[in-house]
Structure 1
Amino acid sequence: MGRFHREVHEEQVEMSGGSRCCFSLLTLLAEVLLFGSVALVVAWCLKYRGGFAWTEDPNLQFNLHPVLMVSGFIFFAGHAMLTYRQWRCCNHSTIKLVHTLYHIMAIPCIAVGLIAVFDFHNNKKPTPIPNLYSLHSWMGLVTVGLYGLQVLPAFIVGFFSFLFLLCCDTATASFRAALVPVHSSFGITTFFLAVATCLTGLTEKVLFTIRDTYSSMPDEGLVVNALGCTLVAALVVISVITSQNVFRQSRAHGGIATEL
């Protein structure tokens, strides 16, 4: 008796013309908002907050915190969420690799951003600032924790299932498929929290630095408000792109049928 294997290849389901046009416009808008958020936070820190430094100037070291957090949690994590929609022409393995690379780029941004804000608090002259007392810092801890719960298990599962379990790929397919909605839910929840945490942090910073003039709408206040609106708009657009089934990279179910 022989064993014959039949592989059913997955075929991508094409979107209609109207859906494709809407998808293209939303994707373009998402890119403008993601790049715009990074540009605004960098411009704010350079023009109004004095630029960047490391421990030799705690005030300038703090400026790394908003830039790196927006870069990690918004720019790179946002692109990671969009990967499965934007890279439709690539095979599934390539898409997973790009998705993973975006998260790999986000992790050092988040880590260095956290170090920068703790150093700023601890080295502030003449009196250090207490750590982890504000709503912003509490929300930040929750966001970092959820991001870790989302990314680290995904890396571990991916490592074992695609390196050590290739010999039983069919047996692990259902397990990996069951993790997809959990991973996706953690992703969008973390992104929501990241935007909310950024908004509380921006509000906290302007109230500490330009509280006396903020109500008169100075240029710095307008830039910070524009940054906050850009982050909210990016959240809305990315949520629409990732939640609508019509934009999903739909594929026919496939598997391996075995005859003895």
Structure 2
Amino acid sequence: MAHGFYLVYGLSLCLSLLCALFVVSWSLHWRGGFAWDGSPLQFNWHPVLMVSGLVIIYGNGAVVYRIPSSWKQRKLVCKLVHAGMMLVALLLSGLGLSAVFDFHTSISIPHLYSVHSWVGISTVLLFSFQWLLGLVGFLLPCSPRWFRRSLKPTHIWIGKIVLVLTLVACISGINEKLLLTLDGMSAAAYNTLPVEAVFVNCLGILIVALGTTILGILFVKKWQRPEDCPENTQLLVSESSP
């Protein structure tokens, strides 16, 4: 069982690295690099931060509990690692939104007019709600155990929905950006498939591959953290005690 997991998990790590390399290379090689001055170079932070936060870090944070080597550790350690990674993902996505909103303001482009922007902002808002709910339900010592047990299925379900919405937002955003920049005037038209279009289309395929790999890990029941782990067993005994 562990060998099968680590094979798929290793694939997800390789895809994570490729996604990071591709999105950074796109901004550096074809879009001119990075800045924070209201210019198009500021916009380049948006895809990098959103892919890094909502796809790579979020996806890997979602499978922390599935890693067999972590099952011998106290569950609190996994909770803190999971919550910490999700917080980093949330902060990066917030910074990515700030980059694009500031860029739009500086050149007088309307905000939130496209399907991509609607899906993207909904994803970040739902993710924020999920993280706060998880903080209250699973990390605060005052949270009762019955509430944690009731909240767990909902928390997991929302987490999967956020990942799916992230994939939709990323693919629609990549397509929107290519349609706006490869207009056939200052650059080769998108429908002629210039090198940039091929490269960024491959980025989209990598993002989908990473997302589906993470979802695959989350849907395999035998890769869930067993209930007979030391801390879980102690919890069950304490709950059954008078």
Question: TM over 0.5, yes or no?
Answer: yes
Q: CA deviation at 1:112?
A: 1.0
Q: Does 1:130 align with 2:102?
A: no
Aligned partner of 2:202 in structure 1 is: 226
What are the ranges of 5 or more consecutive residues in structure 2 without an aligned counterpart?
A: none
Q: Secondary structure at the match of 2:241?
A: strand
- Of structures 1 and 2, the larger Rg is shown by 1
2:94 alignment partner, one of 105, 111, 118:
111
Q: 2:81 aligns with which of 98, 106, 110?
A: 98
| Aligned residue in 2 for 1:79 | 60
Partner of 2:125: 145
Deviations 1:155-199 (A, max 9, x none): 123343x2x45xxxxxx2222011111111000100100111010
Identical aligned pairs, as a percentage? 35
Query: What is the RMSD of the two structures over their aligned residues, measured on CA atoms?
Result: 1.5
Query: Structure 1 runs of 4+ off > 6 angstroms?
Result: none
Per the alignment, do residues 214 and 89 of structure 1 end up closer, same or farther by CA in structure 2, a change over 3 Å counting?
farther
Mapped contact 1:58–1:119 kept (Cα < 8 A): no
Indicate the residue corresponding to 2:24 in structure 1. Answer: 42
The letter for the 2-side match of 1:138 is: W
Q: Flag structure 1 segments of 5+ consecutive residues without an equivalent.
A: 1-18, 166-171
Deviations 1:137-170 (A, max 9, x none): 111121112111211111123343x2x45xxxxx
Look up the equivalent residue of 1:81 and give its one-letter code. Answer: A
Mapped pair 1:53 → 2:35: yes
Cα distance in structure 2, aligned partners of 1:114 and 1:62: 10
- Tell me the amino acid that sits aligned with residue 106 of structure 1: A
Q: Tell me how far 1:215 sits from its aligned partner.
A: 2.1
Structure-2 separation of matches of 1:159 and 1:26: 29
Contact 2:90 2:128 in 1 (8 A): no
Q: Hey, what's the Cα distance between the residues in 2 that align with 1:193 and 1:39?
A: 22
Identify the residue that residue 7 of structure 1 maps to in structure 2: none
In structure 2, how many angstroms separate the alpha carbons of the residues matched to 1:96 and 1:90? Answer: 11
Instruction: Tell whether the 8 Å contact from 2:116 to 2:172 is kept in structure 1 after alignment.
Output: yes
- TM-score using structure 2 length: 0.90
Structure scoring higher RCO (CA < 8 A, sep ≥ 6) equals 1
Instruction: Give SS of 2:34's match.
Output: coil
Cα distance between partner residues in 1 of 2:153 and 2:29: 42
Per the normalisation by structure 1, the TM-score is 0.84
Quote the offset at 1:218 in angstroms. Answer: 1.6
Q: Which amino acid aligns with 2:111?
A: N
